[in-house]
Amino acid sequence: MAPQLDAYFKQVEASSEDFIERLRKAVAIPSVSAMDEHRPDVVKMGQWLASELKNLGAEVELRPLGKQPHKEYLDLPPVVIGRYGNDKKKRTILVYGHYDVQPALMEDGWSTKPFELSVDEKGRMYGRGSTDDKGPVLGWLNVIEAHQKAGVGFPVNLLMCFEGMEEYGSEGLDDFINEEAKKYFKDADAVCISDNYWLGTEKPCLTYGLRGVNYYSIEISGPGQDLHSGVFGGTTHEPMTDLTKVLGTLVDTDGTILIKGIKDFVAPLTDEEKSLYGDIAFTMDNLYESLGSQTGIFPDKERTLMGRWRYPSLSIHGIEGAFSAPGAKTVIPAKVTGKFSIRTVPNMEIDPVNELVIKHVQDAFSKLNSKNTCKVWCQHAGKWWVASPKHWNFTAAGKAVEHVWGVKPDLTREGGSIPVTLTFEQATGKNVLLLPMGSSTDAAHSINEKLDRRNYIEGTKLLGAYLHYVAEEPMEG
Ligand SMILES: C[C@H](N)C(=O)N[C@@H](Cc1c[nH]cn1)C(=O)O
Ligand SMILES: [Zn+2]
Ligand SMILES: [Zn+2]
């Protein structure tokens, strides 16, 4: 295998500028799944991805997912599915990624235009979606292209599933995967997802766990329209006042969730699990670097990692309908919708958590004795996932990491959520591996999201090397 991999690696180096151009084109399409007005861009991004894959000789289909739940005027973007190679003697790996991105506006504080890839002198490639998840998705395309150009045989059959709604809760995808698990995806021997990040900036990792996410909206309304606060302030119940009070009952400033009963669902920490945290290559400085501040809750790495991986958290994200522009508008908003989410962990189930949250919000609102109206609902939910890393899929990835990066990877869990991971595992019955490309300082979901050129190019080598090691692993296990 060594000469083949050497030739492949050389080709990745030789094609690196083309691969960066490919990422530049992808970042230029503002495929923001959460914004109705960007839906045509999400569709355009799916079509662009499909055409790139076709140009590389893959069989590709754009599968419709129907209308968006609760927004029937919108079509969901298509799932791009594809196959590269169909040799019964080879293993088949199913790869998943997403081509939609989080919203990004200059006024949020970006230093460069979010939808123009901007590469600085240190090789940091800034742009929305660079690390989450366009860079990793294009990594798979780069793997195909570099094999072709180097004349190196492709080691496995590749099945692909790239969706356009991940940042909005993967609407429609669970049913699609369940439906196709025994059809389009039936040959898959294992699954690989590249959509998370290293813990720091130097040590690669393989990831075997994710938190789940239950995402909520609280809508408080009263007046028939927005009002002048000088004319009506002091004479009416104000939705924004009610909402901030209700939001204030959810979580304490030290991160403690204040909803009664939530803690009781959390699996107790065992001595065996506790002992795993000490060996992970992570420091408080790694945390401070990626936070861009020293505002961590805990003083030590172990409790910080547990706070991210194995305990739930509740975050308040924003308020729709509230005044948020610069200046001093003296308005009383008539209807405001607060958004918050809970990252869930073993053994929190979606429905019992929803019941506690909805009851808590209703009780908190009724204590206000307000004449306004309060509605609360779970917008989307995806369950946590924890797998065993003792499988040939992880062994192959571990060897590939050692080959490309020269170190054994850490085995990590992740605080973020990729709800379809569990769906793939359950629907296909196959092992799922998370193989991240980006690092802790990439600022996914934040301003100035970036992917380091080194992570993109070495990451492309890693994805290819992983496929070669997969081809060599004995199947059992
Ligand atoms: C880890 C992954 N790259 C990611 O960012 N996932 C999102 C999924 C999500 C759920 N609701 C909205 N987006 C995340 O963890 O926030
Ligand atoms: Zn992602
Ligand atoms: Zn994301």
Model's pTM, two decimal places? 0.93
Record the tokens describing residue 447, joined without a space.
Answer: 């301003």
Structural contact between residues 174 and 80, judged by C-beta atoms closer than 8 angstroms: no
Ligand nearest to the CA of 419: 1
CA of 98 to the centre of ligand 3 (A): 9
3-state secondary structure the chain: CHHHHHHHHHHHHHCHHHHHHHHHHHHCCCCECCCHHHHHHHHHHHHHHHHHHHHCCCEEEEECCCEECCEEEEECCCEEEEEECCCCCCCEEEEEEECCECCCCHHHCCCCCCCCCEECCCCEEECCCHHHHHHHHHHHHHHHHHHHHHCCCCCCEEEEEEECCHHHCCCCHHHHHHHHCCCCCCCCCEEEECCCECCCCCCCEEEEEECEEEEEEEEEECCCCCEEHHHHCCCCCCHHHHHHHHHCCCECCCCCECCCCCHHHCCCCCHHHHHHHCCCCCCHHHHHHHHCCCCCCCCCHHHHHHHHHCCCEEEEEEEECCCCCCCCCCEECCEEEEEEEEEECCCCCHHHHHHHHHHHHHHHHHCCCCCCEEEEEEEEEECCEECCCCCHHHHHHHHHHHHHHCCCCEEEEECCCCCHHHHHHHHHCCCEEECCCECHHHCCCCCCCEEEHHHHHHHHHHHHHHHHHHHHCCCCC
Please compute the mean of the pLDDT values over residues 74-99 and round it to a whole number: 98
Phi, psi (deg, nearest 5) at residue 90: -100, 155
Q: What is the mean pLDDT of residues 138-165?
A: 98
Ion ligand 2: residue ranges with CB closer than 5 A: 132-133, 195
CA distance 239 to 222: 6
- pLDDT score, position 476: 60
Q: Is 445 annotated as a binding residue?
A: yes
Which residue is listed with tokens 């060897």? 399
Residue with more model confidence, 205 or 477 = 205
- Residue range 129-158: average pLDDT? 98
- 228 labelled binding-site residue: yes
> Measured from the CB, is residue 68 less than 6 Å from ligand 1?
no
- The pLDDT tens digits for 344-388 are 999 999 999 999 999 999 999 999 999 999 999 999 999 999 998
For 309, residues 6+ apart whose C-beta sits below 8 A from its C-beta are 209, 211, 345, 412, 413, 414, 415
Catalytic positions are 100, 166
**Cβ 138 under 6 angstroms from ligand 1:** no
Predicted pLDDT of residue 349: 98
How sure is the predictor about 474, in pLDDT bands with cuts at 50, 70 and 90? Answer: confident
CA 439 centroid distance within chain: 13
Give the number of whichever ligand sits closest to the CA of residue 414: 1
Q: Is 169's C-beta closer than 6 angstroms to any atom of ligand 1?
A: yes
Average pLDDT over residues 297-325: 97
Separation of CA 163 and ligand 3 centre (Å):
12
Ligand 1 atom index nearest CA of 213: 10
**pLDDT for 1:** 74
Each residue's pLDDT tens digit, 100-121: 999 999 999 999 999 999 999 9
For residue 477, the model assigns a pLDDT of 46
The annotation status of 195 as a binding-site residue, yes or no, is yes
Q: Whose CA is nearest to atom 1 of ligand 1?
A: 416
Residue ranges covered by each domain of the chain: 6-210+384-472, 212-266+311-382
Average pLDDT over residues 298-312: 97
Atom of ligand 1 nearest to the CA of 98: 3
Read off the tokens for 286: 């790694």
Neighbours of 206 (CB within 10 A): 22
- Short-list 339, 340, 323, 280, CA closest to 304: 280
With a pLDDT cut of 70, the percent of the chain lying above it is 99
Distance CA 411, CA 463 (A): 17
Cα torsion angle, 446, 394, 81, 63, sign: negative
Tell me which ligand sits closest to the C-alpha of residue 210.
1
Give distance in angstroms: CA of 227 to centre of ligand 1. 36
* pLDDT at residue 2, as a whole number: 77
Q: Which amino acid would we find at residue 303?
A: R
The average confidence (pLDDT) of the chain is: 97
212-266+311-382 CATH fold: Alpha-Beta Plaits (3.30.70)
State the ipTM, two decimals.
0.97
Give CA torsion, residues 275, 431, 161, 91, to 10 deg.
Answer: 130
Is there an atom of ligand 1 within 6 Å of 167 CB? yes
The domain made up of 6-210+384-472 has a fold known as Aminopeptidase (3.40.630)
- Measured from the Cα of 417, ligand 1's closest atom is 15
Q: Give tens-digit pLDDT for 252-274.
A: 999 999 999 999 999 999 999 99
In short, whether 338's Cβ falls inside 6 Å of ligand 1 is: no
